[in-house]
Structure 1
Amino acid sequence: MDSPALDPLDLQVLQALQLDGRAPFSRIAAVLGVSDQTVARRYRRLHNTAHVRVLGMTDENRLGRQTWIVRLRCVPDVAEQLADALAKRPDTLYVSLISGGTEVMCGMKPRSRKERDELLFDRLQRTRQILTVTAHCVLHPFYGGSHGWLTKSNALTPDQESALRPPAPEPLDGPVTLDAGDEALLAVLRHDGRATLTELQKATGQTESAVKRRLEALRSGGVLYFDVQYDHEPLGQDVSAMLWLTVLPRALADVGRSLAAHPEVHFASATTGQANIVVAARFRSPEQLYTYLSEKIGVLDGIQAVETSLVLRQIKQLTYDPNR
């Protein structure tokens, strides 16, 4: 069944959650000028019809870890099986089938250099059905992470955004070290960013006040942020594409800033590799993708080459949920 189109209030609720995934419905309602019950009903409906979920995510840079984008070209008929196996791994952020169904792309966040090397240089390289492995280390994000696409929807007024946006993370002197309680807290929030304090207490074995303090510390330190997962079809974003841009080094920053401002772009980052900027973007149709490539990408100074791949199917989006 197709998901119903979203109305302006739906979009306002979604953008409010993108700004602060744990904002109480009462606070969102006060900013939007509606009742608490209206916001709660909209959220439940969006959850049921557009699979909207708030997820707690970690900024790997703040933990001193690297994020990788990996492309795996496979023999025919095994890409889907490989994608399913990768989706079940806790160190994958997302997994997609691209390029005619013979290529798998995934975002990976290995917790250590040892885990990275075991995966990239051992397991994947020794899998006979995988023909090539290309790994891009994320160097500098231009857009994405805590800057979710819904903030570009302009459903909220500037004053409403200001009222809902939490304070910016504090600058850090070095990587944050997580203890067992933090790990347990984050594990729950990765599957439900709006988990109650009671649920977080049960998972961590800590008091309510201790959970509140640690939750605030992780957020103010920029380690924890919240993203909104949802079906894109109700927003008219049926075509998903990955762009692999080869950009002159002198133009990297300017091109990255331009891409971040494009409403079509959901993610853009400088990476290692011949293609040194990776972009994820969504469009209403292939024709709109063509227009974007010719009229927005084509005019940016410093771009030497562009490879475009359509995402055929999203196997995993931000977190693995086998019941979805």
Structure 2
Amino acid sequence: MLDTTDAALVHELQRDGRVSYQRLSELLGISREAARARVQRLLQRGEVRIVGIVPPSVAGIETVAHVSLDVAGPVRAVAAMAAGRRAASFVSCTAGPQSVITEVRVADEGALEREFAALRAVPGVRGLEVFRCAELVRDAYSPVVAGVRAGPPPELDTTDRRLLGMLQLDGRASFTALAERIGLSQPATRARVLRLLEVGAVHVTGLVESRALGVREAAGVGLGVRGPARAVAEAAAALPGVNYVASGYGRFDVVCGLDAPDRPALFTGLEAVRALPGVTRSETWVHLDIVKESYTYDLPIDQAIGSPGTPLRE
């Protein structure tokens, strides 16, 4: 568990992963050196990673699906194979109606069908049940509401896309280090990064290891609703402990993810979701082993985002 000062540091890093040590010093009332030492310790222990989160639309991701796998026999091998798919952003072994849950994020319908075919071909998989996401109301690591089809992404050139790829790996990379990699001056690089942040092409944040925050339990819940799904999804996103909400169609109308420090708190959170006006049915699964959780995308640097190209491998 984090102490009070580390928890405050983490909160600020989640808001702005590139916040300066001087600013952290001012916000927390500690010395700049102490702020730096604490951040470095959190990073070295793996309790926090500073990364750039690129919205799906900016990365050319227009199609998102939540897939439940019906598995015969042991599930770990199935989960491992699902996690090996690049398109899988989340894979978990669960206690619930289905044994493995995965979220798939791809560019288009054709790519989605190819992922479904690959998952059906995994030994032990008897079938799939699918929830198609129409809108991400609350994404796992985004502090703002983000729609998958919320409009055209900002115009980016090859250099912008390279910078996004680098920030995905190291959100606190210095302007000097970034400039050396892309071959621009430090001021020009700084201006580009600030523009990318301003237009919402990337959000630099601290990804915190769940147990460092006291999170011991995690679950998902699928909802059937009466009337507009968006209203229920927005209400769910405002509840404590809810870290993910998507509205859509198929197996459910809304899917939520919840974190909690213990089983009673998790139950309380689930009860709050089930009690939302408009909810007519619910199905819950508890995450026993989260095998993969990654929201880093391959960003083509030679062609427009979303079209085939050479993935960034830097």
Q: One fold, TM greater than 0.5?
A: yes
Query: Which residue is 1:253 aligned to?
Result: 230
Say if 2:132 is the partner of 1:137: yes
* Deviation (angstroms), 1:173: 6.3
Query: Which residue is 1:76 aligned to?
Result: 73
Q: Which of 102, 110, 113 is equivalent to 1:117?
A: 113
Q: TM-score when scaled to structure 2?
A: 0.81
The alignment covers a number of residue pairs equal to 291
RMSD: 2.8
Query: Which residue is 2:37 aligned to?
Result: 41
Query: Which residue is 2:89 aligned to?
Result: 93
Structure 2 contact 48–207 (Cα < 8 Å) conserved: yes
**Distance in 1, Cα, partners of 2:244 & 2:30:** 32
Secondary structure (helix, strand or coil) at the match of 1:60 reads: coil
Say if 2:17 is the partner of 1:21: yes
Structure 2 contact 53–142 (Cα < 8 Å) conserved: no
Which range is displaced more, 215-224 or 107-116? Answer: 107-116
* Deviation (angstroms), 1:85: 3.5
Structure 2 contact 274–282 (Cα < 8 Å) conserved: no
Q: Would the alpha carbon gap of residues 210 and 91 (structure 1) be closer, same or farther in structure 2, given more than 3 Å must change?
A: farther
Q: What is the percentage of aligned positions where both structures have the same residue?
A: 23
* Deviation (angstroms), 1:244: 0.8
Query: Which residue is 1:164 aligned to?
Result: none
Deviation digits for residues 207-228 of structure 1, max 9, x if unmatched?
3333323322222221211232
Structure 1 contact 247–303 (Cα < 8 Å) conserved: yes
Deviation digits for residues 82-133 of structure 1, max 9, x if unmatched?
333343444332222213696322233213444323222x322333432222
Matches within 5 A, 1:280-299: 280-294=257-271, 296-299=272-275
Say if 2:276 is the partner of 1:276: no
Query: Which residue is 2:166 aligned to?
Result: 188
Q: TM-score when scaled to structure 1?
A: 0.79
Query: Which residue is 2:154 aligned to?
Result: 176
Gaps of 5+ in 2: 145-149, 297-314
Matches within 5 A, 1:200-239: 200-239=178-217
Q: Would the alpha carbon gap of residues 198 and 72 (structure 1) be closer, same or farther in structure 2, given more than 3 Å must change?
A: farther
Query: Which residue is 1:60 aligned to?
Result: 56
Gaps of 5+ in 1: 150-171
Which range is displaced more, 26-35 or 51-60? Answer: 26-35
Q: What amino acid maps onto 1:308 in structure 2?
A: T
Which has more helix, going by share of residues? 1
